[in-house]
Amino acid sequence: MQAKIQDVQPICAVDYAFRRIGGKYKGRLLWYLHNHQVLRYGELRRSIVDITPKMLTQTLRELEEDGLIHREVYHEVPPKVEYRLTTVGQELVPFIEHLRDWGMQQMRKENIPMIGDTNCITND
Amino acid sequence: MQAKIQDVQPICAVDYAFRRIGGKYKGRLLWYLHNHQVLRYGELRRSIVDITPKMLTQTLRELEEDGLIHREVYHEVPPKVEYRLTTVGQELVPFIEHLRDWGMQQMRKENIPMIGDTNCITND
DNA sequence: CAGCATCCCTTCCGATACTG
DNA sequence: CAGTATCGGAAGGGATGCTG
């Protein structure tokens, strides 16, 4: 498992920030959560098309421990768990949004095809 | 070596953008280049305090191949190589700046110490 | 000065099977 | 439904030594 943010002393603020949102799935996860407000585990699994249960759980736990998302468990049968952004997590949305705009522009310029859809949103 | 951007079909724009600036050193490298305009190999090695020559070269090559930085070789003895951001690379500066501001604010709030200095700039 | 080459280890990640 | 457990491979990264 990845080293926790708190356990590695950052070199500087850029280093620190990049480690909090780095990794293969964190960006998309935050972005999808922003777009849907609340998502259940299974919905996330379908949104992040190429993710395995293991990586989804792992990434969710890291983001939760890091204070960027909130996890709400409903003790029902069948079980139900909802995820949403925390206030701190929401602060990152403008950044991801701009980065996504830039990415879209680049992909159009270079004629790069993508697997999902243009605005990264999956409607289930 | 890391897979090239062009060789992996992105899921969506967020995925694509994150892969272009992901990695342990890319963010800081771009940020330092922005702050100094032009930096030589040795200057970069001193700026990125914890980097090894191998990783510095590797990261520089990836960014160059990806069109975010420009590499200028002066055929002198001793040799001299300068690096600077390309136009596309400069487009990323506002994002990194935003992310850095957020990181600084978070570190202050959580009282997280850092190894380098506050604004991530090393004066050699 | 600005690197390349080699070895090796750790971390990340995927595949598959199973559970309260 | 929302996960866990285990295995194994691939990628990322460090240490050291050498070179045009």
Is there a contact between B69 and B33 (Cβ–Cβ < 8 Å)? yes
Domain ranges of chain A: 13-110
Q: Provide the mean pLDDT of chain A.
A: 94
Do B17 and A100 make contact, defined as CB atoms within 8 angstroms?
yes
Do B12 and A22 make contact, defined as CB atoms within 8 angstroms?
no
pTM listed for this prediction: 0.94
Q: Does B8 touch chain A (CB under 8 A)?
A: no
- All residues at 6 or more sequence positions from A99 whose CB lies less than 8 Å from its CB, including other chains: A27, B14, B17, B18, B21, B95
What is the pLDDT, as a whole number, of residue B117?
Answer: 84
Which helix (H) or strand (E) is B101 found in, with range? helix B93-110
Where does the pLDDT of residue B69 fall: very low under 50, low under 70, confident under 90, or very high at 90 and above? very high
Alpha-carbon span A9 to A31, nearest angstrom: 27
- The CATH fold assigned to B13-110 is Arc Repressor Mutant, subunit A (1.10.10)
In chain A, which ranges are continuous DSSP H helix?
Answer: 13-21, 26-36, 41-47, 53-65, 87-91, 93-110
Average pLDDT over every residue of B79-101: 96
Average pLDDT over every residue of A100-110: 95
**pLDDT exceeds cutoff 60 at A30:** yes
Q: Which two tokens stand for residue B124?
A: 């050699």
Give tens-digit pLDDT for B17-60. 999 999 999 999 999 999 999 999 999 999 999 999 999 999 99
